[in-house]
Every structure is written in C-alpha cells, then in structure tokens.
Structure 1
Amino acid sequence: MAKVVTKQKRKLPPSTAVVTQSNELVSARYALPLGEMRLLFTVISKIQPDDTKLTVYRIPVAEFADFLGVAKGSAYTEMKKITHSIVTRYVEIKSPGRLVQTTWVSQAEYIDGTGMVDVRLSEAMIPHLLQLKNGNFTQCKLLMLLSFKSQYTLRLYMLLKQKRDHNPRAKNYEFELGELRKLLGVSVERIERTDKFTKTQEAIELYQEYRTFKKYVLEVAQKEINAKGDIGFEYDEIRHGRPVTALSFRVFSIPRTELLPTEQQLSLSLTAQSGTDLDFVETLLSFVPDQHRAKKGVRATIEAAEKTHGFDYVKRNILYSNAHASQNYAGYLNGALAIDYGHDWEIEQQQASRAAEKAQKQVTLLELNTLADDIRALQRNSKLSNSPELWQQAEVLKAEYARKREIYDAENTEEEENEP
C-alpha cells in the first residue's frame, strides 16, 4: 500500500498578533526594504501592553520563515544580511516642538548554531512603543502586514488606517505630494553619521516623475490594500496648474469574514536571491497573468528559454501569449517560445505604439533625462537595499526609455531633414 504523505500546513503568526505604534511613529519618515520592515514589525508585535521597558526580543528564524513561506535553508542566509543592515536604518520622528533622528534598532544579532535572531530596539523607541495611552496610537494586524508584497503598500496602509481610526467622520484625507513621498520612503534626505558606530544615510529620490510614482507606488498599493486589507481607498489628484501637488484619499472599511491571507499570498521572500539571471526570470514572471504565474511548468519553461534565447525573446513571447492564448496557457506559451511567434507581433505593436505616441505628443529631452535618472536611482538603491523589486522596476523603465528614445530620435531626424 502506498504511503500517504500529508503536507504540513505552513505555520502562520497568531491572528491576535498586533503591531501597536504611536501616531508620531506611524507618521515618521523612513525607508526600509521589505524584509527588514517585516522583521521589525514582527519584533514590535512581541511588545505587550503592560511592558514597562524594552528588552531583547528573540525571533526563531525557522518560525519567521514559516510565517512568510520561505525555505528555511535560505532564510538563515537572508536573515544574516537583514540583521547586518537593519542597525544602520534611520527614522525621523516629529513630535510637538522636537524632531528626533535615530535608528530603529540598537543591536541585531544572528546567533550561529541556535537558529535565533536577537533584536534590541533603540531606547528612542520607548515613548512610541511602550505604555501608549489616550488613544495616541494605531494598531495593525501583523498577519495582514506580512501579507503585503510592497513596502509602499505597507506604509500607505498604516498612514491611511491611522487617519481613519482617529478621524473616522472625515470624508477625505489629504497629503501634499512631496510630504507623502517622504512618508513612503520614496524621497529620503541625507542624514550624516552621528557617531563612529552609525552610517551616513544617503539621499534617495525614486520615481521622480509623478506618472511613474503613480504606476509603481500608488496603483500597486491600491490594488493590494483593496484586495487584502480591512480598509480600501480611492484617491483624487489635486493640481495647481498642470502638475499634481497633492492627493486626496477616500478611505472605506472592507468587512472581511477572514483576514488570514491565503498561502499563495504568503509565499513571499525576505529578499530575493542575488544574481542577474534570477532577476531576469522574476521580471519575466511578472508579465505572466496571475492565475498562471505560480505553475511550475510555466516557470521551468521561462527559465529554460531565458538561458537559451535571452530576456527580450522570452518577454515578447509572453506578451504575445497573454494577448492570444484563450486556453491552455502553458501549452500556448511553449509553442510561441519554440517558433518565436512574438517577433512579428512585437514589431507590429511597436509600430502601432510609435504611431499612437507620435499622434498624442512629442517626447522631450527633459522627459528622457528624467526617465534615465529614475532608472539609475532604482538600480543604485536596488544594490544598496538588496531589493530585487527595484531592479525589476528599473528593467521595465529601461524598455520604456528605449521606446521613447527611438521616438525622440525619429522626431528630431525628421525636423533636421525638413529644415531649409
């Protein structure tokens, strides 16, 4: 008789685990990679309402890996990287009459041979995490925070939840665009080192054009929060002249019979493995429709084709399959990759796109330079924060830059030919 193997259910954080922070800390300015943010909020969830002092919080790496669906073997390596960098991360907290610049963590240590991480939060965190009273705090469910796949989703969710919890009768909550960028960690000012143990925080400017900020931050966060959160939102753009200068959010409750995310939603990694090939594969998978992305056969096909034919070849055939496959997506993609159906289709799409782009507006040199700055900033900060998400976004912008550069060059060539 064949032995039946029962698949163990992934261990999840207790549904009662809550992250409680002062409102000043929720509204603080900081930029954390997603893996470090998840570790930090897991630590904060360990603090009890009657605690009077901060202590060393011990997190079992295996348990943390179970929370996120990460293979335990790779989790140990990634956790070492996280504990090495998290002690250097700054947070800027505004309180009435004062501004505090401090690190989140005073000590983080991975203990070899124990499978444990010890984290001690900075003393400056005491008034923002302990003995919080008079309603001057915001609470979020840890399990829901861990389900978010973008650090910007997580930050925007907390900011909107704070606004709604403490002023539920307001119809709208308005953020000046520059300030919102700083709150989300998209725009970070340089902070000089304060002593020999700290590290200078370099200035960061991501998604400098509003359209890229909207696409990669706002729209991603809106889709994820509305799908997983206990609140949702819509927003309006406020303009002074042509530029968007502020955003007005309408926040609404979403009754959830069950706030536990699905295992698929929790199949997240602390940080993706390094390596250009893996970055390319993950980027290619992001083009695959959601319902097919998790299929092993689709991933194996893409990995093999990328090694043989390269990134652009595979990308155009994925996009071709997305447009034409009505059923059996994996089989259709296999056929497209074998014969390169996407080649002629891509040319047709590019021609149509160029015609539409030219009819709508001209591409300016300033627009190209801004796009190039966004790409360089994404690549630089991807390396600094070990964030594959930023690298993947840079790859998308590079394709957009190439397309617009071609339009710009064609336009200027035509102008030169028409000159007397």
Structure 2
Amino acid sequence: MIDKNQVTKANDLNLRAYKLSRIEQLFLLSVISLVQPTDEDFKTYKINIKDFINLLSLKGKSKYCDLPKITKSLMTKVIEIKRSHSLLQVCWFSSVEHKTGEGIIEVEFSPKLKPYLLNLKNNFVSYSLNQVSNLSSKYSIRIYELLRQFSYQKTVKFNLEEFRLLIGIDSGEYPRYSNLKQRVLNKSKKEISKKTDIDFNFEEIKSGRKVIGIKFYINKNKNNKAVDEIAMSLDSTSTENEIHKNNEKNYIEKVKSIIKEPIDSDDAHKIYKASNGNLSLIEKIYEKSKKYDIDSIVAFMISGVKSNYKDDIKSVKKDHFNDFDQRTYDFEDLEKKLLGIK
C-alpha cells in the first residue's frame, strides 16, 4: 500500500509557492513517494488506481473517470524555482499514461526536477504519506509540509503575504486576516493535531493592530498514539538531533564556500540562521556585497539576509518583540520578489 511510503523532497522544492487542489497534491505526493531519494535517475513510476482511490477514501466507479481530468490539470501546473543564476519554470510531469483495463497510471517526472528529488543526502524534508492522506484541506497539507521541514528547530516564522503564497492562497481569497485565521489556520491546526505526527501553536506578529506575520511553535504530537505506531518519518530511524547536527555541519560548510572571505564556523552558522536556511539568498546577498566597501562581511551578510530583498522593500518597520520586517506589498510584485524576478 502506498500510504506507508515515504515522501522525500529537497527543502528548496518544499519552499516553493504553488497552487494545487487536495487531490492533485495527493496524487503528486503519491508519485514522489515511489521515488527513492538515493536513486541516481528517474524511472517510470506506476500508480495503482485502486490503491490511490483507497488512499483518498473515495468510493464509486465514477471517481475512476475523474483521474484523467486530475492528471491533465496537474500537467498544466508550472512550478517556479529561483536558482543562483536562473529562474526554472517546469511542469511536475513530462508524461502521464492511463493504462486502460490495467488499473495503472504510468508517470514520468520532468528531468529538470532531478536535483530536488534524487540523490538527496541533506537539506530535505521526509515524512510518511499517511501523515497527509487523511487531511481534508489542501491548506492543511501544505502547512504540514512547511512545519515538518522546520520541526527540528521547533519554531519558524513567515511574513503573512509570503505564507499565503507558499500554501497556495489566491490573492482575492481570505483578504481579511480574521477569515484566514478562522478558515485556514484554526482548521488546519485542529486537523494536523488530530491526524498527524506534529502539533503546533501560532503567534500573530503585529505592527500596531495589523497582523504582518505568523510565528509557529512546532511540537511532536504525543497525544496521537496511532501516529506513533505507523509513522515512518525520519525520526523513526534516526534521532532528529543527529540529523540536525549533520545537516547543520553541511550547511556551515556551504555558507563558507559561498563567502570567499575567511570566516569561522560560528559566523557561518549565524549567517545561515539569519537567512532561515536559504542558501540561495545567502549567495545573492554575497554577490551584492561585492559592490560595496565593507568593514565587516559577517555583519553585512547577517543584515542583508535578515532584510531579505531589501532593495525591493518600500518601507521597513521592526516589531519590538520579534524583530520582524513590516513591508508594503503589491501581491503580484510579491510573487516576483519571492522568485527573484525584477
């Protein structure tokens, strides 16, 4: 059964903004769960239709007829990935073939996705497919994925508009924060706590009375005994502390390799933490540093990655308790900024 398969993908892919329906997400994740992260190349992956229908808890033959529509829609969805010197626009799949009479769907990934799904040794998120298959909301699935990535560090904060983009909320959807809180955040919190291996609380980050961001506090779900028995996440085979320690060592070396000036491991760690683990951002800010006469490269890097795309920010105001940036946004411009498009 595919529900016990492990979904593994690079952190950089997990932190991309995309909009998929619940069924589209689960079909995509089902195919990803067939990929072995240590594989050197993609294969043709076969989804058993009956297994997928069972995963969704759907009944009735009419649902079988919907799958070609679902995969066709999924084939039209493009994901954009900002890389160090380029913007990658790629469809998830290069082909999907429905085997009539065999009850099988054969899927091939776009080759450009190899770095994000294959030969993954660090900088990835991994969880059992059964952690998300029972979530009824497409937003719950995306929130779970984001929080699962940062579960080792227990907290993560997102600017409100960036968060909306990352979980696939359209610009005209839930324009008021109160609606977003009630219909998305509270609903997802209840679902994720009841059905998955993590639990979370959240804190509203405000400037005055306006909510400008959300800080999440992530915990292992100790109340869900069934999850403890069936979960096949990374921390079931190795402790998260060990994984975190090994990953951070790799991150520190990568930061030091980006910055050509000599810096020690402590400074590299500070820069990495300030960037929230975004190596592409570190590389971008370092390229900017070459244009200036700088007394301290470490101070410049920390300031640069904290303010993120500072050149594009119209106004910045620090909140007193969390040092969070308030920004003035145009929603379409924001998506371009997240992708590094000028």
Specify the TM-score bucket, using the shorter chain as the normaliser.
0.5 to 0.7
Is 1:82 the counterpart of 2:70 in the alignment? yes
RCO comparison, higher one (Cα < 8 Å, 6+): 2
Q: Gaps (5+ residues) in structure 1?
A: 1-11, 188-203, 263-420
In 1, Cα distance between the equivalents of 2:189 and 2:84? 31
- Deviation, structure 1 residue 102: 1.6
Report the secondary structure of 1:46's partner residue: coil
Report the secondary structure of 1:205's partner residue: coil
Is 1:137 the counterpart of 2:124 in the alignment? yes
- Give the TM-score, by structure 1 length: 0.52
In 2, Cα distance between the equivalents of 1:96 and 1:174? 24
Q: Which amino acid aligns with 1:254?
A: N
In 1, Cα distance between the equivalents of 2:73 and 2:44? 18
Q: Which amino acid aligns with 2:217?
A: R
Q: Which amino acid aligns with 1:233?
A: F
- Deviation, structure 1 residue 14: 5.0
Show the counterpart of 2:174: 207
Show the counterpart of 2:187: 220
Show the counterpart of 2:205: 238
Q: Gaps (5+ residues) in structure 2?
A: 231-342
Q: Deviations over 1:308-338 (max 9, x none)?
A: xxxxxxxxxxxxxxxxxxxxxxxxxxxxxxx
Show the counterpart of 1:179: 162
Q: How does 1:42-121 map to 2 (within 5 A)?
A: 42-121=30-109
CA gap of 1:116–1:37, structure 2 versus 1, over 3 A, is same
Structure number with greater Rg is: 1
Contact map agreement 1:20 1:45 (CA 8 A) in 2: yes
Q: Deviations over 1:187-239 (max 9, x none)?
A: 3xxxxxxxxxxxxxxxx532112111111111111111111121111111111
Give % identity.
33
Report the secondary structure of 1:93's partner residue: strand
- Deviation, structure 1 residue 44: 0.4
Contact map agreement 1:21 1:137 (CA 8 A) in 2: yes
In 1, Cα distance between the equivalents of 2:94 and 2:60? 26
Q: Which amino acid aligns with 2:135?
A: F
Report the secondary structure of 1:238's partner residue: strand
In 2, Cα distance between the equivalents of 1:117 and 1:261? 30
Q: Deviations over 1:272-325 (max 9, x none)?
A: xxxxxxxxxxxxxxxxxxxxxxxxxxxxxxxxxxxxxxxxxxxxxxxxxxxxxx
Is 1:128 the counterpart of 2:116 in the alignment? yes
Show the counterpart of 2:2: 13
- Deviation, structure 1 residue 97: 4.6
Q: How does 1:275-294 map to 2 (within 5 A)?
A: none
Q: Deviations over 1:113-157 (max 9, x none)?
A: 222111111112110000011x21000110111111111001011
- Deviation, structure 1 residue 72: 5.0
CA gap of 1:231–1:95, structure 2 versus 1, over 3 A, is farther
Higher helix share: 1
CA gap of 1:261–1:35, structure 2 versus 1, over 3 A, is farther
Is 1:163 the counterpart of 2:163 in the alignment? no
Q: How does 1:326-365 map to 2 (within 5 A)?
A: none
- Give the TM-score, by structure 2 length: 0.63
CA gap of 1:180–1:66, structure 2 versus 1, over 3 A, is same
Q: Which amino acid aligns with 1:216?
A: R
CA gap of 1:254–1:30, structure 2 versus 1, over 3 A, is same
Q: Which amino acid aligns with 1:180?
A: F
Show the counterpart of 1:248: 215
* Number of aligned residues: 229
In 1, Cα distance between the equivalents of 2:6 and 2:151? 18
In 1, Cα distance between the equivalents of 2:172 and 2:94? 27
Show the counterpart of 1:319: none
Q: How does 1:296-311 map to 2 (within 5 A)?
A: none
- Deviation, structure 1 residue 96: 4.1
Q: Which amino acid aligns with 1:236?
A: E
In 1, Cα distance between the equivalents of 2:159 and 2:17? 14
Show the counterpart of 1:151: 138
Report the secondary structure of 1:19's partner residue: strand
